[in-house]
Structure 1
């Protein structure tokens, strides 16, 4: 009897340890899901980038067509839209990575695996636990492969939904130097062209009152005089911290534009 009780205790400890090990993978799963989404998103962000200015109004006119294309290209359905409805995320502008609230990401993933289960069985009450067992703990290679396919498919569908719902944000994000709003009037691009023609450098060398440089440039390009000054400061100032910057992308486009006109 004592031997039986001893064995029962061992079995109970083994079950508890197994449960603990599987549950400990939750943070790893969250990280893997985010990383998979970002790998997929990076590929599409690159495709959204333009090497010359684009008008915001032009994007708006084609927005419905683009959304319809995204819906079909990623094989989205009303069921997937229902799963991802209400999704929130943040975007790190420096490394262009998306991050999610962990609870929401797991909730969306759990709904997804239940909807898309084919080779694996999931308890609808706790599909995340079952997934972590298959992917991180099971010794069956077929289980691991099927679970990995679910992560890959989920990330593709999630990116498709994000681009479908928030395309305007991402085309602006990917082209934040070159997206031209109705009130912008191409000011930074015009200043970059004048800079490539060496006009700003020449004025900086010959005009004693530096304030007059900004006024001369403003008279040529128009727009808000204070913004023109900030853009010029990014070229002839010392370490301007303003968000109004003439970037490398502006300069490359300006030089390419001038070269084309020369040809």
Structure 2
């Protein structure tokens, strides 16, 4: 089955307001930026995004944040996005902060048909006991907090240990970016860009992949496939310009003097922006 669609706009056209999106990427690495921009232009709002973070100010999911399109985020950290923090603390955005590994497994479990699982991560903290602020009001009061979760003791090689029950995540749509993909939806991610992309692809009821290089079926060796096409429903082939447009979340450079001497750690300069 040829899953290639003509444009990113066509691929996201049926995403409705109120939908839940599982979005791949870590920081700005491997984010489906073209699909996000198409969704921004499409106009859907009141969206819930499940992603490791929310990009940075005005890039990646940060674009949807700035436009006021997100009502809720399920993420593992706020990261470098000041607007994310501002909306959360001012009561404009509901945020469910989740341990990073737990978030990845919740997404993977959703794609694997596993309703819930037990993990030791979070036992003895508000992750398990409840009370984590999910939403504030404009005065800074907590109006929605996380509920308590079931904790059960299991016998391990080191004796009994407590585990907390975490529910799987199934999203209406999964948005991912791959280095290579074929017309059947088989995907290959490059190095660290693999991050959350396979999990986001798995847990989306409808998964849309933007690919930097579109190849014919059979050109990707079966053993090289990271995400099988069974999880992918639409494929968008990027132009060379779109594929090359990759931002850097934080760049650290080392100064060198005229004699070739490298600067000390205290003299290194951190900058924000694109490379």
TM-score normalised according to structure 1 size: 0.25
Answer 1 or 2: which has greater strand percent.
2
Q: Which has the higher contact order (CA 8 A, sep 6+)?
A: 1
Greater Rg over alpha carbons, structure: 1
